[in-house]
Chain A
Amino acid sequence: MNLVKFELDKIFRNKFLLVALLFLLLINGFNIWKDYSIRAEWEKEYYSHKKTFYELLKGDITAEKVKWLTEQNDYADKLLSGIESDTSKLITDNAYVDFNISNEYIDEIRRLYNYNDEVKTMKEKNEIQFDFSQEHTNTFLANCAKKIDTTYMQRNISGIYNYSQLEEYLDYSFTEFFIIIILLLAFSPVFATEYETGMYLCFMSSVGGRKKVASAKLAVISIFTFIVTFLFSVFDTVIFTLCLKLDGFSSPIYALSSYKFTPLICSIGEYIVLLFVVRLIGFLILSVFVSLLSSVLKNSYITFIVSIITMFFLMALEVYGKNEVGIFSSLNPIKLIVGSDLFSKFGVVNLFNIPVFNYVVSILLGLICFIVLCLFVIKVNNKNQRSKKI
């Protein structure tokens, strides 16, 4: 425990790292604010009008709300076509804006209503597939059909919220880039410094100098990775909430259009927590990989360069090989770090004729990868020190 404390202290005494962390946090905040808050004057005005409508509509979709919205839309339409001249009932003092915004919300309500129909159609098709699979004794397909049925059972969206803004928040992936940079800076020297400064000679002769130091370092790597990921995630959420006034966290995740066929049955708030955990696993794999490189290359700068090139390579692999399915694709930590792709669609892996969700396989593989890498780090450091001793 003392070793962990000491190693943690070493990281927190690194002023450059802390300054870089603070700098990147601020840059990230600025980036979000710039992209989602600085808008042209007409846009600002439009959004403020939209907010007035939103305040009247948010929450459960009721027959009264739908009736009011359609009436408002008809009224604005009549004003625009010159049939009506009394403007007293307008919400925004501008018939054109009223018409456009009410149309947007009508479309949104239609989308939410249609979701239930879409799921119904999908389930009907699925039943046909189930019968077909049973007839042709294809156990896997039959099991898949069963899984689809249980996954999409009893789904409906009852509330209207600013889903598009929640999607913007969930789609924002620049934070991951900042976290990767900080982790590379923090962990490139983690083992290499001991070799650069000759400290490994001391470890060799001390009681806790072999596996214990490596294990303590790995514990610190995990703790620091958690802290950095947590800090950036909280900072992201706060800035986004301030910029976009997010709400509707209790709505089901499938209310978001890009997640309409997600296999998950949880609220948006719960999904954010799940995404954090999955990303954390991805970052842990990455951190341990960097520390493994640090042990092997024994030079902080070279480790940093090799790691950064590897990261870009993995990112390119994730972008260009998005449609590739297979064990190597699942092992890419960037897949877990980006996260959302794992949950947005229904995807299964055939495991002895039992369909297992892609995200479950990826998370399990990620955890196994993390443990294997940890063992490698301990083994490499033990071996390095033993060979020096000889």
Chain B
Amino acid sequence: MIKQELYKLCIKRKFLLVMVFVFSVEFLLFFYSSQNIKFEDKASQIKYQHYMDLFSGAITPEKRSEIEKLIENDEQIILEMAEKEKKYIEREINDEQYVELLNKYSDYKEGYNGYVAFIETYNYAVENGNELIDSKPWDLLFNNESIDFLLVILITMSAIFLYISDLENGVELITVTTENGKMRKDFTQVVICIFIAAFSTIVVDIGKYIIIDLVYGLKNPDLKLSNIEIFSESSYDLSLIQAYLITCFIKLFGSIYLVVLTCFTGIYLKNSLLTGFTSIITVLMPNYILSEREYKYLIPLPSAFLTANGYLFGDMIYTEIMFKKITPLKLLLVFGISVTIIITASIKVIRRNKL
């Protein structure tokens, strides 16, 4: 039966095509956004990379003094240039001398953005007592608090194409009279939907990891989570890779929750459009309305789990609003309520046609 349902969904209803399309767009967009973390000019990128190769890792007194020397040297050059500019304005030096001066400094200014970015990273590491690492690829991988909207659409589509459309176009009236058309059919369909949701989430998460690793290189996966700016206040003693795996697992749970909730809503609405609308609203609204607050992670809805990162945040001021850490107890409570909802909804969906 699984084979037949899969055939119906993937081939007859062309979901395989949709899946390939969504994955392609998803990875293309991610690849495009991963290019944005590179510097616009090549010289800056080379300079940044050069400094990172030289100084990344624990900040030893030797490294610190070398970097401080760099900063001092830069400040001196900037001061010198300002003085010369002042002299030029006051006509103490002529045009030719000024052009000569500009040429001299233009060599120094080449790739200057790379230097500035490196110093910013260094200052952040010193302030927080962290190691010096290039956190940009990790920042992109964790992607702050955004929800993968295309993945949400794909997941709801799987439930709608397989489960809701049968309810909508009256196929159920025929299947319910057959031997396997009651509980078994519903059970198989829900299992397939859950499988697709889990598969899609895993593919997207692994795909993104591979892309960023190939494009930029994900170095230092064993470093502490607090090395990343968004997790700077996190009290969890996790490595970056562990944290990524945990957020992936939470997202996986969110995807399964979303697909079960979509099937459950579909039983009552019996309409693809209305079910799709309700599911998307359920995911988007809490995120938009309760943005910057911890409350969105405390609502037992898929949106909380699909955002995931917030569960690892610590207490922090987030654009003038206090974000209070989600304690493991609160997380367990939200998780427990959600699991109860998933089980109840699944039973309701599967036992709907029990005679």
Contact = CB atoms under 8 A, between A and B. Distances in A.
Asked if chains A and B come from one complex, the reply is yes
A181 B281 contact: yes
B276 interface: yes
Interface string A167-198: 00000001001000100010011000000000
Contacts of B269: 16
Interface stretch (A219-227, A304-312, A350-358): A304-312
Contacts of A31: 288-289
Contacts of B274: 16
A300 interface: yes
A312 B149 CA distance: 10
A27 interface: yes
A30 interface: yes
B285 interface: yes
A305 B150 CA distance: 10
A177 B291 CA distance: 15
Contacts of B160: 301
A34 interface: yes
A200 to B, nearest CB: 17
B277 A27 contact: no
B334 interface: no
Given A181-B281, A309-B153, A312-B149, A304 B273 contact: yes
A185 B149 contact: no
Contacts of A27: 285, 289
A185 B157 CA distance: 16
Interface in A58-117: none
Interface string B215-240: 00000000000000000000000000
B153 A301 contact: no
Contacts of A242: none
Interface in A303-326: 304-305, 308-309, 312
A228 B75 CA distance: 58
Given A301-B272, A301-B273, A304-B277, A174 B288 contact: yes
Interface in A253-290: none
Contacts of B273: 185, 188-189, 300-301, 304
B280 interface: yes
Contacts of A30: 289
Contacts of B150: 309
B276 A304 contact: yes
Interface residues of A, number: 19
Name the residue in B269, B277, B288 with the highest tally of chain A Cβ atoms < 10 Å from its Cβ: B277
Contacts of A360: none
Given A188-B273, A189-B273, A308 B288 contact: no
Interface string B147-160: 00110010001001
A16 B277 CA distance: 11
A372 B277 CA distance: 29
Contacts of A364: none
A185 B277 contact: yes
A177 B276 contact: no
Interface in B254-311: 269, 272-274, 276-277, 280-281, 285, 288-289
B87 to A, nearest CB: 28
A238 interface: no
A20 interface: yes
Nearest to B272: A301
Contacts of B276: 301, 304-305
A181 B272 CA distance: 16
Nearest to B153: A305
A301 B279 CA distance: 12
A119 B149 CA distance: 46
Contacts of A16: 269, 274
Interface in B141-196: 149-150, 153, 157, 160
A34 B273 CA distance: 30
A9 B272 CA distance: 22
Given A305-B153, A305-B157, A309-B153, A20 B277 contact: yes
A34 B153 contact: no
A174 B157 CA distance: 26
Interface in A12-50: 16, 20, 27, 30-31, 34
Interface of B: 149-150, 153, 157, 160, 269, 272-274, 276-277, 280-281, 285, 288-289
Given A20-B281, A27-B289, 10 more contacts: A30-B289, A34-B289, A185-B273, A188-B273, A301-B160, A301-B273, A301-B276, A304-B276, A305-B276, A309-B153
18 contacts: A20-B277, A20-B281, A27-B289, A30-B289, A31-B288, A31-B289, A34-B289, A181-B277, A181-B281, A185-B273, A185-B277, A189-B273, A300-B272, A301-B160, A301-B272, A305-B157, A305-B276, A308-B280
